[in-house]
Amino acid sequence: MGVLGAADQRDRGDRPAGPGVPPGQTGPVRIHGGRLTAPVDRSGSGRRSPGAARGAYGLRTGAANPRTHTRSPGEAVSLPTAHIRTDRTARSTEVDALRGFALLGILLVNALMMAGPYGFGAIGESGGSVGDRTVTGLVQTLVAGKFYLMFSFLFGYSLTFQTAAAERDGARPVPRLLRRSLGLFVLGLLHAVLLFPGDILMTYALLGLILIAVRNCAAETARRAARIVYGVGGSLLLLVGLASLLLSETGAAELDAELAAESAALAADYRTDPAGVLAANIAQLPDTLLAILPMGGLVVAAFLTGLYGGRRDLLTVPTEALHRAKLRRRCLLWAAAGLPGSVFMALAFSGPWGPRWVVLGEAVGAVTAPALTFSYICGALLLLGTTRGARLAALLAPAGRMALTNYLSQSLVLALVFTAYGLALYDRVPPAAVIAGAFTLYAGQLALSGWLMARYRYGPVERLLRTVTYARLRNGETQVTSTGVTSAGPRQS
């Protein structure tokens, strides 16, 4: 769910034994010795049941042709697990791992924003160390603007899970989705006022209404619409950036001085007392909402691309050599397309060109950011297909399952460190130390998420959002794991 989606990507196997399991047939899919056993007929008729011919829950099994394959009554059909997407009825490890990865990128950018006046170019003016310059340059080039788009893509991708869950439960999806949007907006508003005015949840809640409106569109329609929205939104951003070059040197210097004065006032508010922190956050709230307009096109385009990806089930770890080679080429092509724009943005912020280039640099960086985002996604899928990648996914996925809780808790910790809620270190910690602290916080979140997700079904904020979305608590659910379907009673929560 993006940050989100973790609260919405339901355990997609919370049903007893799958639809249409006839009497006398075994129930769920089982895995024995690395091979998957489909349901078979136990009635003695010797006929393959409809569930067995297609696989449990309608999954493609790659089974032998029933017209040519004969077997004795009660024989189990052994099917290679490589031909079955068991995670389409369970949680998607790929999606959860990507969310866990995106949390790191979000944290690195937000940590610098909450530690001092946002503007990566400021470090160049203050005579920072080589380490500080290197850190801010790397974050600006490789991280800034990329990972909120990854969450936006995953937000759209998860819509397929939510609508499927509603259909499975016999419920209308729109009321659920609207309640979810309302819950996200309220959480985002509280987040922006109390902790961090750079909140993204309100943006997802408001622009997510567009995604709800087009939820039934065909996959190709979603992809074409994403291209159009991206083209129009990106063109407008570039026009604004080019227009900023018309600003005179004197005008640019005056604007820069005005921003510096605002930054000094902000630092004073964040260091004084909690009331000053609240006042400063509330004063920035209109800017937070207005920022939806220039960036809305890219976010909606990412939503629609995610919707297309969910319909096409694109976030699948490649197993065949040809598929991996194709994905590797795409990873490199996307990187080649996106990296120059990100370098240009970093130079515009921190280079010798002057403040007039900042707006254009930001526009170019925003327009080319999706290319790097998709390069990261392709690279992550390639990595997850390796042995080490599988171990990494096991580490990242729990954090992704409770991404919303982790996102908000990141802001809470950073607010306690950098504002008058706690240590009041705003604009007093060098960027290199801020990033080192961010990595430490992320490592702690990975460890805590693994511990919590081994004991609880959802994170605390995810459970709250589900309560709002489904208008009830679900105490007993059927859990689908990598070894099959088991009926899970009330779990500790």
CB of 176 closer than 8 Å to CB of 166: yes
User: Cβ atoms within 10 A of the Cβ of 386, count?
Assistant: 12
What order of strands is seen across the sheet that includes strand 477-481?
78-80, 35-37, 30-32, 484-488, 477-481
Residue 164 lies in a domain: yes
Q: Provide the pLDDT for residue 472.
A: 63
Q: How many whole angstroms separate alpha carbon 114 and alpha carbon 411?
A: 8
Q: How many whole angstroms separate alpha carbon 178 and alpha carbon 184?
A: 10
Same domain, 136 and 34: no
Residue with tokens 């059909």: 77
CB of 212 closer than 8 Å to CB of 205: no
Residue 35 lies in a domain: yes
CA atoms within 13 A on the CB side of 307: 27
Same domain, 69 and 196: no
Q: How many whole angstroms separate alpha carbon 196 and alpha carbon 56?
A: 46
Q: What is the largest CA-CA distance in the chain?
A: 90
Angle separating helix axes 130-142 and 431-453, nearest 10 degrees: 50
Residue 75 lies in a domain: yes
Query: How many structural domains are present in the chain?
Result: 2
Residue 473 lies in a domain: no
Same domain, 435 and 394: yes
Same domain, 259 and 273: yes
Q: Provide the pLDDT for residue 161.
A: 87
Residue 423 lies in a domain: yes
Domain of residue 433 covers 92-454
Q: Provide the pLDDT for residue 4.
A: 58
CB of 78 closer than 8 Å to CB of 37: yes
Residues of the chain with pLDDT under 50: 1, 10-89, 120-126, 473-493
Q: Provide the pLDDT for residue 5.
A: 56
Same domain, 72 and 132: no
Q: What is the per-residue pLDDT across 344-389, written as a single tens digit (0 to 9) for each?
A: 999 988 777 777 888 899 999 999 999 999 999 999 999 998 999 9
Same domain, 97 and 79: no
Residue 488 lies in a domain: no
Q: How many whole angstroms separate alpha carbon 74 and alpha carbon 85?
A: 25
Same domain, 169 and 234: yes
Q: Provide the pLDDT for residue 118.
A: 59
3-state helix, strand, coil in the chain (%, to 5): 65, 5, 30
Residue 390 lies in a domain: yes
Q: How many whole angstroms separate alpha carbon 489 and alpha carbon 274?
A: 44
Residue 276 sits at the vertex; the CA angle it makes with 273 and 280, to the nearest 5 degrees, is 145
Same domain, 103 and 78: no
Closest CA to 146 of 318, 296, 298, 291: 298
Same domain, 210 and 358: yes
Query: Of 45, 62, 86, which marks where a domain is finished?
Result: 86
Tokens of 259: 């921003």
Same domain, 68 and 217: no
CB of 233 closer than 8 Å to CB of 298: yes
Same domain, 409 and 260: yes
Same domain, 59 and 177: no
Q: How many whole angstroms separate alpha carbon 351 and alpha carbon 341?
A: 14
Residue 293 lies in a domain: yes
Residue with tokens 């511990």: 451
Q: What is the DSSP string of 141-173?
A: HHTTTTHHHHHHHHHHHHHHHHHHHHHHTT--H
